[in-house]
Structure 1
Amino acid sequence: MLTIEDIKKMLPHRYPFLLVDRVLEYKEGDWIKTLKNVTYNEPFFTGHFPQVSVMPGVLMVEAMAQSGGILAFLSMNKEEFERSIGGKRMVYFVEIERARFRRPVIPGDQVIMEVKILKHKLDIWKMEGKATVDGKIVAEAKMAAKIDRELE
């Protein structure tokens, strides 16, 4: 539904830290479903772990948080969205709760992130997310994001 070029208009992250490749589906103000293709040439695999390549759990949570940031932008009214994209406003990961890691993510996996808004007040968005591979949960967490004021 949304490509990497659309995502780059909303998130400040770039390679190697942009961890969402595509938005598959979303419902404004409610939920989003995104995709991360995990490849062997990801820079973190050289040290995590050299003998068995495993995606760090903290990066799975970051991918869910980035998905939530995209959802927050997509949930703005059209005028506010237009004023905010292209680096004019920053989205920050501000809180994480109850992170759980269920199984390892390895090269070749496609991680599907599903993030749902729990509460939105002012510039703070509380969400819960889960990441799956082949329909099995690999990570889940509750988190919050903040969209900062307009930059000059």
Structure 2
Amino acid sequence: MRSIARGLGLGSAAVALTALTAVAWPGTAGAAPAGTESLYAPSALVLSVTAGPDADTGTVLRAVTLVCAPRPGGTHPNPLTACRELRAVGSQLDPLAAPAPDAVCTREWDPMTVTADGVWQGRRLHYTYTFANPCGLRNTTGALFGF
């Protein structure tokens, strides 16, 4: 079984996706809900907000799951809007982390880092962005990191 998983390039991404789908669809042990016709893995991400300039060494303040396929769900407070935004920008998440045009923040250095890890439309996605301070994070134009 291990050699098959390696040959298909599944490795740890498959384990992470299985964990995500189990969270998204409780009681299914990682299986997609009945009636799913897609042969591709669901679009599912783990989003986090970390205090510090680096997600690897900072303190994770909060994290949510976001599932966009076959239907919006997860623990994100607004999965429908977040999935709609993701579909609009594809895997280029910088526009969703951009500050609102009318945002006014101080220039203090108190970094906050956001991450998105998982699978988006069948492809592995890893995204990290560091804001100068919490004000920058609060004033993003997108709902993706608004949790």
Query: TM-score, structure 2 length as denominator?
Result: 0.30
Query: TM-score, structure 1 length as denominator?
Result: 0.30
More strand by share: 1
User: Which has the greater radius of gyration?
Assistant: 2
